Structure 1
Amino acid sequence: MRKSSLFIGLFVTILIGIGIIGFSKVSQANAEITEGSDNYTISETWELPTELDEISGIVWIDAHTLACVQDENGIIYMYDLDERSITEEIPFAGNGDYEGIALHNTDLYVMQSDGLLYEIKDWRETNRTISSYKTGFEAANNMESLTYSAKDKSLLTAPKDKDAHDEFKGIYKISMTSKTADVNSPTYKIEMNAEALNKYQGKKLHKTFNPSEIAVHPKTNDIYVLEGKNPKLLILDQHGTLKTVYKLDEINFPQPEGMTFSDDADLYISNEAVNGTASIHLVEFKFN
């Protein structure tokens, strides 16, 4: 009886210990998931159709339309925010890994992860022309970001993975004439050892921050850089000086990979479908 009681007591103690450890891990996970949710408010959300489950880039077209790409099919999807539906599909290439989309005047641009840039010229016209250009980046860079900067009069992009040096991730201009970038001369730098990024550093310095999208604020020219891997938003001023880094909670931002501003500076961020439905949020950040 004594041995039996001893074993029962030991068994109960082990169960209680496992429960405490499990509760601790769940509590820690919940804390990590919800951290950052006080940085912003989401004023509206659009749940997207299955065609956009892999949504990887968005760009503002007009008062009710976003152009979207997803990372498998060479199709631009026009999404109507009022109708909450896709209203037009524009094929531009075959299957691939398409990550970023930008608009300049009447032309759309799509970035493939290996650095190949597609130009859809006069996209609204039935006789639109489509061309592709090697920008100078390679598959090892894993290019996911693209935007047009009126200040720089160029497209801007940043490698997600490897850059020329592990100490920084550069933001590079892509010329509107040659459609190429000087891959040895970034216009702006995100320093991986910046104080604001200290708590995100791991064993490999270049993995401190992995840009998945970029957008330029239409009024301040601040440069917003999004990370989808470990959701964060980094903001540089118009000169490239790091201003702040916001952690994004993983409930509302399970995999944020698209971002764009409206003409009035409203910020839209899209998420791929991760254990749920792909979405677009209209987001307002709380600046100190």
Structure 2
Amino acid sequence: MPQLLYKISFPALRRQGAVGAAAPKKGWAGSPARPVPATPGRPAGPLVLIVLLTVVAMCFLTGCQMFWAPHSPKGYVLPRPEIHFLDKKLNEISGIFYLRGEGSMLAIADDKKHIYRIYTDGRDDDYYEESFGESADYEDVVKVDSSVFVLASDATLFETRRTDSGLVTRSYSLKVPVPEEAGKRKDGSTVDFETLYYDPSAGGLILLSKSIKGESKKGIRSAWRFNLATRSFDTNPFYSFRLKDINEALKDGRVEFKPSAAAIHPFTGELYVLSSAGHLLVVADMRGRVRAAYRLNPSFYPQAEGIAFAENGDMYISNEAKLGKASLLRIPYNGQKGAR
């Protein structure tokens, strides 16, 4: 019997007085309907019976998923996150990266040429006091050794590191071959990238395409490797996600999969990929072979654009401010721990 979610922890709401907080939408796990009391000593009225019959009917039609906990990756309960609201300067937070041993994360925002540090309780400060580069649409951030890498949506990668003379930044551009007949996007571009993660086993950084002209017709989303040894991009895709594999994992209709963030689980070694569009979390191996896919409740994950894991397996997901404040969600890990 699945577990009914009747209790949600909102420490941020208690701290901030729940100002501007949006209640979970009805029908999603974590927001059970209020019971309708019947008058003592009298049979339940027609309205109560109609409500009960409706609930039972919908349970049979939907497998009770509207009222019971939807599936979550092993060790997690996605509908029960711990929520922390972020400062307004992070309203456009687009990527996070967990700093091992420091209890904090790097963060980047779409419209800011600035790298922030956010703590697990939602507090923030500057990771670098100076701006690190030119104006761009920044989407994700990763740190490897002493270098911080920031991805722009046009597939330009910025590498920043601290020296005695201040911040030094270099840039590298991925040139994706796009057939002329594929045309261009409305903004004149042919590519859109939002996802960057570090894969030690591949010796490089991996960029996942959100959209490349011509890919949708092929039913794929491609991954591209930046070789850290040569500081150069491979000329061919490293691997690809097949949309039909995600569709088969969900079994609930057409899939909208446009990767917005990714991170490697510290214990299972699996790749967790967010898609803000479609409200999805996809779990795959390190070469894009899909193992599972999960729908995310938009009440908690309205615009999930960042994901990271702590050393203990706790999952952190950041949301841009879609209707209220930007947020950092912690989903505790209760699964098996140990070296992979």
Shorter-chain-normalised TM-score: which range? 0.7 to 0.9
After superposition, the Cα gap between the structure-2 partners of 1:130 and 1:243, relative to the gap in structure 1 and judged at 3 Å, is same
Q: Distance in 2 between matches of 1:200 and 1:182?
A: 35
1:77–1:90 contact (8 Å) kept in structure 2: no
1:145–1:212 contact (8 Å) kept in structure 2: yes
Residues 95-131 of structure 1: per-residue CA shift (max 9 Å, x gap) = 22000111111111000000110001248x7633211
Q: Distance in 2 between matches of 1:49 and 1:220?
A: 33
> How far 1:157 sits from its partner (Å)?
1.4
5 Å-filtered alignment, 1:194-209, equals 194=245, 195-197=248-250, 199-201=252-254, 208-209=256-257
Q: Distance in 2 between matches of 1:172 and 1:231?
A: 23
State the secondary structure of the residue aligned to 1:66: strand
Query: Is 1:156 matched with 2:189?
Result: no
After superposition, the Cα gap between the structure-2 partners of 1:116 and 1:180, relative to the gap in structure 1 and judged at 3 Å, is same
Q: 1 or 2, which has the higher strand percentage?
A: 1
Q: Distance in 2 between matches of 1:117 and 1:128?
A: 16
State the secondary structure of the residue aligned to 1:100: strand
1:64–1:82 contact (8 Å) kept in structure 2: no
After superposition, the Cα gap between the structure-2 partners of 1:108 and 1:96, relative to the gap in structure 1 and judged at 3 Å, is same
1:156–1:171 contact (8 Å) kept in structure 2: yes
Give the structure 2 partner of residue 274 of structure 1.
Answer: 322
After superposition, the Cα gap between the structure-2 partners of 1:151 and 1:200, relative to the gap in structure 1 and judged at 3 Å, is farther
Q: Distance in 1 between matches of 2:266 and 2:113?
A: 28
2:203–2:229 contact (8 Å) kept in structure 1: no
Q: Distance in 2 between matches of 1:53 and 1:37?
A: 29
Q: Distance in 1 between matches of 2:292 and 2:173?
A: 33
Q: Distance in 1 between matches of 2:201 and 2:119?
A: 28
5 Å-filtered alignment, 1:61-72, equals 61-62=99-100, 63-72=102-111
Q: Distance in 1 between matches of 2:221 and 2:251?
A: 15
Give the structure 2 partner of residue 52 of structure 1.
Answer: 90
Give the structure 2 partner of residue 176 of structure 1.
Answer: 228
1:80–1:87 contact (8 Å) kept in structure 2: no
Q: Distance in 1 between matches of 2:139 and 2:202?
A: 22
Residues 194-252 of structure 1: per-residue CA shift (max 9 Å, x gap) = 212553426xxxxx311001111122221111001221100002453211001000000
Q: Distance in 1 between matches of 2:174 and 2:212?
A: 16
5 Å-filtered alignment, 1:159-238, equals 159-162=209-212, 165=215, 166-182=218-234, 184-187=236-239, 189-194=240-245, 195-197=248-250, 199-201=252-254, 208-238=256-286
Query: Is 1:80 matched with 2:119?
Result: yes
State the secondary structure of the residue aligned to 1:240: coil
Q: Distance in 2 between matches of 1:37 and 1:286?
A: 16
After superposition, the Cα gap between the structure-2 partners of 1:126 and 1:68, relative to the gap in structure 1 and judged at 3 Å, is farther
Give the structure 1 partner of residue 144 of structure 2.
Answer: 104
State the secondary structure of the residue aligned to 1:199: coil
After superposition, the Cα gap between the structure-2 partners of 1:285 and 1:210, relative to the gap in structure 1 and judged at 3 Å, is farther
Of 278, 296, 309 in structure 2, the residue corresponding to residue 261 of structure 1 is: 309
Residues 159-181 of structure 1: per-residue CA shift (max 9 Å, x gap) = 10126632211222211134433
State the secondary structure of the residue aligned to 1:193: helix
1:192–1:209 contact (8 Å) kept in structure 2: yes
Name the count of aligned residue pairs: 252
5 Å-filtered alignment, 1:106-125, equals 106-122=146-162
TM-score (norm 2): 0.67
Deviates more, 1:148-157 or 1:235-244: 235-244
Aligned AA (2:273): V
> How far 1:265 sits from its partner (Å)?
2.5
State the secondary structure of the residue aligned to 1:111: strand
Residues 258-285 of structure 1: per-residue CA shift (max 9 Å, x gap) = 1111233221100000111101111147
State the secondary structure of the residue aligned to 2:89: helix
Q: Distance in 2 between matches of 1:133 and 1:72?
A: 20
CA-based RMSD: 2.7
Q: Distance in 2 between matches of 1:286 and 1:65?
A: 20
Aligned AA (2:296): L
